[in-house]
A and B are shown apart, each in its own frame.
Chain A
Amino acid sequence: MRKARAASTICIDHGPSFPFAAPCRAVGCLRREYFCQDEAAGSFILAKILRGEAEGRGAEPLHHAPKADAPASAWDDYLHNRDNPAGVTQDLWFHEQGCASWLKVTRNTVTHEILAVEAVAGGAA
């Protein structure tokens, strides 16, 4: 259903000067695709969905899971509660339909500004 975008597409929020820190080398994967070009809802999946997988692959966990013997309250807090900041936040994104990279994105939830994008440990799968 979704189509690959032309290379000339620019980020609707930030224009061509979108600051990327971690260029993706995959064929057809443009740097600006990292966050907000086209598939924010599709090819990039917030790592909160897939964090178990990320950690299993040796990626740097942004959300530190409690130890297996931690009390139930610690697991409840980890699974359900959120700081939910209105401002700068960090989350882990997975370039699902592209180069399969895990990216740590520092962004502003109010302005949609991207402050930094880094490949997490392990890089592309």
Chain B
Amino acid sequence: MRYSGFKVLTQGLFGNRGWKPAWRDPAPKAEYDAIIIGGGGHGLSTAYYLAKNHGLTNIAVLEKGYLGSGNIGRNTTIVRANYFLPGNSEFYSHSLKLWEGLESELNYNVMHSQRGLINLFHSDGQRDAFARRGNAMINQGDDAILLDRDGVRELLPYLDYDNTRFPIYGGLLHPRGGTARHDAVAWGYARAADRRGVDLIQNCEVTGIDVQNGRVTGVQTTRGAIRAKKVGIVVAGRSSQVAAMAGLRLPIESHILQAFVTEGLKPVIDHVISFGMGHFYISQSDKGGLVFGGDLDFYASYASRGNLPMVEHVMEAGMTLMPMIGRARVLRSWGGIMDMSPDGSPIIDRTPIEGLYLDCGWNYGGFKAVPASGWCMAHLMATGESHEVARRFTLNRFAKGHLIDEEGTGSQHNLH
């Protein structure tokens, strides 16, 4: 069933009785051409592009819970391409272009809203660094506008411009940055992959990866063994556990990143605002809730919730930046499990095991990467070669010293 405004209208007139499930609920087959472990945003987009770009349709996505039950539904929904370093720059640029065509591509409303993203700066040195970053973004073909203090004040009149510790000198505006409806991205890819014949198998936990003579031969699951010559691990948040089933030890440490949402308010924050010096960023969802977050809790954890020191720090930073939000009531907070890599950049690569591929290490930037991650992982699994825009995201770059350390904080998992 193709979705359209006309469909909504006619269904509405006839009691909405004609809607069908958006995807099938197939039983796993004994063998597939390729298996993707993980039914989150990255896994579903990998499956979609394997089917669409490479014609592989005898494939399955195995999800231990329900589709989109992980970080794809637990993030702050920011979409941007404001990276500086080669490797990241071309990859996220490619991703943003895919975002811009995603709704018609998937025939699904992902509510992609290019409302503009502003990174604030607070010193001459930081302004120079941001000017350089903006030039790198423009060189990549994306957009960036360096705003001075008055330029920021015009767009964001409600910030505290009298702060003496972090005086607002200006901001780097990325007009094509914005947000999207996170669940809809998973559902849109799931539906589009299903329509191309991909089996989306839920409640199917992988319990083992079969390897013979250095080649992957299939997986063991809670719903039986499934054979496949190609297996992709796309399970950011649990990468270390799943890779360990194949005897791999990854350069990944899991950390908690907290986020918060307030009650719904009338439109007040039109952009995505990032206050790096306070480790704080905020936007307003289309439902009206203020969505904001901060930095990692810093110690390795899988708890899906954080501790109060970081809650307090985020609230302090928010009040420092925009005292007007002080009366808003926080409805809920949560913690996502982040695959932190030593340089803060992801891995899309082959493993030492033939036929076993890895897509992991998304740190806390995985949401905006969903389209390009799937695109490049599908390319890798179909052709055996890294895609042009993901060729630097190698598993062995740490050993070789080819780090992609966007923040320049050093080779340490929890510092990015």
Contact = CB atoms under 8 A, between A and B. Distances in A.
Interface of A: 1, 12-13, 36, 38-42, 45-46, 48-49, 72-73, 76-77, 79-86, 89, 91, 109-112
A110 B301 CA distance: 6
B300 A40 contact: no
Interface in B287-333: 295, 297-303, 307-310, 313, 316
Contacts of A39: 309
Interface stretch (B51-59, B134-142, B173-181, B244-252): B244-252
Name the 5 nearest CB pairs between A and B, nearest first.
A84-B240, A76-B399, A80-B251, A80-B398, A86-B302
Which size class do B's interface residues fall under? 20 to 34
Contact of A110 (B253, B302, B411): B302
B238 interface: yes
B297 A40 contact: yes
Interface of B: 238, 240-241, 249-254, 295, 297-303, 307-310, 313, 316, 342, 398-399, 411-415
27 contacts: A12-B307, A36-B307, A40-B297, A40-B299, A40-B309, A41-B295, A41-B297, A41-B298, A41-B309, A41-B310, A41-B313, A45-B298, A46-B414, A49-B414, A76-B398, A81-B249, A81-B250, A82-B250, A82-B300, A83-B240, A84-B240, A84-B252, A84-B300, A86-B254, A89-B300, A91-B300, A109-B300
Contact of A48 (B240, B308, B412): B412
A42 B238 CA distance: 26
Contacts of B298: 40-41, 45-46
A84 B309 contact: no
A51 to B, nearest CB: 11
Q: Which one of A13, A38, A42, A86 has the highest number of Cβ atoms from chain B below 10 Å of its Cβ?
A: A86
Contacts of A86: 238, 240-241, 254, 302
A109 B303 contact: yes
B253 A84 contact: yes
A49 B250 contact: no
Contacts, number: 84
B250 A79 contact: no
A79 B249 contact: no
Contacts of A40: 297-299, 307, 309
Contacts of A13: 307
B340 to A, nearest CB: 9
Given A49-B412, A86-B241, A81 B251 contact: yes
Given A76-B399, A82-B250, A82-B252, A12 B300 contact: no
Contacts of B238: 86
Contacts of A81: 249-251
Q: Which one of A42, A45, A46, A81 has the highest number of Cβ atoms from chain B below 10 Å of its Cβ?
A: A81
A124 B121 CA distance: 40
Contacts of B240: 82-86
Nearest to A11: B307
A73 B399 contact: yes
Contacts of A36: 307
A9 to B, nearest CB: 10
Q: Which one of B250, B309, B310, B398 has the highest number of Cβ atoms from chain A below 10 Å of its Cβ?
A: B309
A84 B298 CA distance: 14
Given A38-B309, A40-B298, A46-B298, A84 B303 contact: no
Contacts of B309: 38-42
B301 to A, nearest CB: 5
Nearest to B240: A84
Q: Which one of A38, A77, A80 has the highest number of Cβ atoms from chain B below 10 Å of its Cβ?
A: A80
A112 B303 contact: yes
A110 B415 CA distance: 21
B188 to A, nearest CB: 30
Contacts of A80: 251, 342, 398-399, 411
A72 B401 CA distance: 11
Nearest to A77: B249
Given A79-B342, A84-B250, A109-B301, 13 more contacts: A41-B309, A42-B309, A45-B298, A49-B414, A80-B411, A82-B251, A82-B252, A84-B300, A86-B241, A89-B300, A91-B300, A109-B300, A112-B303
A11 B238 CA distance: 27
Nearest to A72: B399
Nearest to B252: A84
A82 B414 CA distance: 12
B12 to A, nearest CB: 46
